Amino acid sequence: MHIDLKGRTALVTGSTQGIGAAIAAGLARSGARVAVNGRTPERVEEAVVGLARDVPGGEFVPVAADVSTEEGADRVARALPEVDVLVNNLGVFGAKDPLEISDDEWRRYFEVNVLAAVRLTRLFLPGMTERGWGRVQYIASDSAVVIPAEMIHYGMSKTALLAVSRGFAKQAAGTGVTVNSVIAGPTHTGGVEDFVYELVDRDLSWEEAQRAFMREHRPQSLLQRLIEPEEIANMVVYLASDQASATTGGALRVDGGYVDSILP
């Protein structure tokens, strides 16, 4: 299958590192012009330099803005009048005792993980439907369906994204615009290696360490290793393509079989 995104403009929120950066690279490799987003111009410029090195000939547009605010979303819309592929990747996470999470923390998770994506969808979906082609995606998590007791606030935000995604897919019915979410599982992003070595023998190689971690702490994973960011990006690139034209309103799993379910 040859995926060609030439002539398409993509926006990937929270793409200065991790899964977002891998998605930005994957979309650019398929020919899209990709807007790279993070909160500060310095971090965004640094990411663009790294991406341009990894994807020779790739076209990257730096767009620094805190998209969890109305003002930040408006700044993005001014910088990018037309977006064909919107990937709502931005998400924050962290463990907290469920009986200790404050009202402000609940609101922050909703604002950053859900409302930011809703706002950007509101800004860019009308243009896509007018042009008769578009792709909106939300990066959800296994925590959307397997709610961790220590991350109820995070799980809530990711479950909400699945609802938002399904709803906007209905809104875009019959327009040529598809709307989907991707359920990412435990992924090998920055900081994860330190986290793993806190839980397993420090003398193990990374390969052995992640297998021991998965066996002891994530036994429900069928992959039994962490997912690489590029593996999540592959699904996002496919969903962004012309070839994925009949896939909409779905929640597609790249979770290494972590969620114990036959569907989707």
Ligand X SMILES: NC(=O)c1ccc[n+]([C@@H]2O[C@H](COP(=O)([O-])OP(=O)(O)OC[C@H]3O[C@@H](n4cnc5c(N)ncnc54)[C@H](OP(=O)(O)O)[C@@H]3O)[C@@H](O)[C@H]2O)c1
Selected catalytic residue, list 109, 154, 197, 238: 154
- Does residue 68 interact with ligand X by CB under 6 A? yes
Question: Which of these ranges, 16-24, 121-129, 172-180, 210-218, lies near ligand X under the rule CB under 6 A?
Answer: 16-24
Per rule CB under 6 A, is residue 178 in the interface with ligand X?
no
Nearer to ligand X, 37 or 180 (CB): 37
Which of 68, 137 has the CB closer to ligand X?
Answer: 68
Q: How many residues bind ligand X (CB under 6 A)?
A: 27
Query: Do 183 and 140 meet the contact criterion of CB atoms below 8 Å apart?
Result: yes
Residue 238 is a catalytic residue: no
Q: Which of 134, 155, 186, 250 binds ligand X (CB under 6 A)?
A: 186
Binding ligand X (rule: CB under 6 A), the pick from 9, 30, 89, 165 is: 89
Binding ligand X by CB under 6 A: which of 121, 180, 189, 210? 189
Longest dimension (CA), the chain: 57
96 near ligand X, rule: CB under 6 A: no
**Closer residue to ligand X (CB): 9 or 15:** 15
When asked if residue 14 is in the footprint of ligand X (CB under 6 A), the reply is yes
Residue 37 contacts ligand X per CB under 6 A: yes
Q: Tell me if 210 contacts ligand X by CB under 6 A.
A: no
Reading the block at residue 87, the tokens are 């990937």
Q: In this structure, what are the phi and psi dihedrals at residue 202, rounded to the nearest 5 degrees?
A: -65, -20
Taking residues 17 to 36 in sequence order and writing x for each that binds ligand X by CB under 6 A, - otherwise, the string is xxxx----------------
**Least distance to ligand X from the beta carbon of 15, Å?**
6
Interacting residues toward ligand X by CB under 6 A: 13-20, 37-39, 43, 66-68, 89-91, 93, 112, 139, 141, 184, 186-187, 189-190
Q: Give the residue numbers annotated as catalytic, written as ranges.
A: 154
